[in-house]
Amino acid sequence: MIEITEQTLASLRQAVGKRMSPARLTHTLAVEDAVARLCALYCPQEEPLLRAAALLHDLTKELRLDGQIELARTYGLVLTEADIASPKTLHARTAAALIPVEFPHLAHPTVIGAVRWHTVGREDMTLPEQLLYLADYIDASRTFQSCVQLRRFFWEAHPEAMSPEERLQHLRRTLLLSFRMTLKDLVREGALISPETVAARNALLLLCADDADVGE
């Protein structure tokens, strides 16, 4: 049984703050705020775990590729050629792998899963995984056009005024839009696309199939 108190989170904020640049910390703290807001709408009981996951999610992001590969080796992660060619997504795997070793008091499946899948997504993401994924995309520190667009799409629909079922569907539609934008960007850049990202998008597309205005 893992108990995450305000004190646990305060210590974690300090610990991660020492291991990343000021800009990365600003983003990390903004993701913590964003995920807390999302938890209030969707699953208040998960807030402490998801705040911890937010604080940990980019812990290894600033490592260079050789550092990522070394960490992966340390933690027994098997890397494929495609993994090496997509270094931007590797940090989710290395960060998830180091949690049980460096932060055993936070090694809850919800924390590890949310960190593990926050970059590429996956088919049938759990609700906590979806919330960290979205928080990372729409946190208040993001200024990319697609992030601003998605943040507006989510909040300007006033999810707080929706019924629980409408709110859940609004989350799925927002995530579907995010995967659509991500896939378009990856194609435009000529980058590799993770099969998990395609699976995540397809699963959401099926769940939103009855929505008249969610076209491709």
- Sequence-distant (6+) residues with CB within 8 A of 133 are 114, 117, 118, 121, 125, 175, 178
Site for Fe ion in 13-72 (CB under 5 A): 58
- Indicate whether 136 belongs to the interface with Fe ion (CB under 5 A): yes
Angstrom distance (rounded) from CA 92 to CA 115: 6
Minimum gap (Å) between residue 135 Cβ and Fe ion: 9
Nearest distance, CB of residue 54 and Fe ion, angstroms = 8
Does residue 139 belong to the site contacting Fe ion (CB under 5 A)? no
Q: What is the dihedral of CA 209, 150, 117, 191, to 10 degrees?
A: 90
By beta-carbon proximity to Fe ion, the closer residue of 42 and 133 is 133
Choose between 58 and 129: whose C-beta lies nearer to Fe ion.
Answer: 58
- The minimum distance between CB 95 and Fe ion, in angstroms, equals 8
Alpha-carbon distances of 88 from 55, 60, 84, 171, 203, rounded to whole Å: 18, 11, 9, 25, 23
Comparing CB distances to Fe ion, the nearer of 56 and 176 is 56
Which residues here bind Fe ion, judged by CB under 5 A?
58, 136
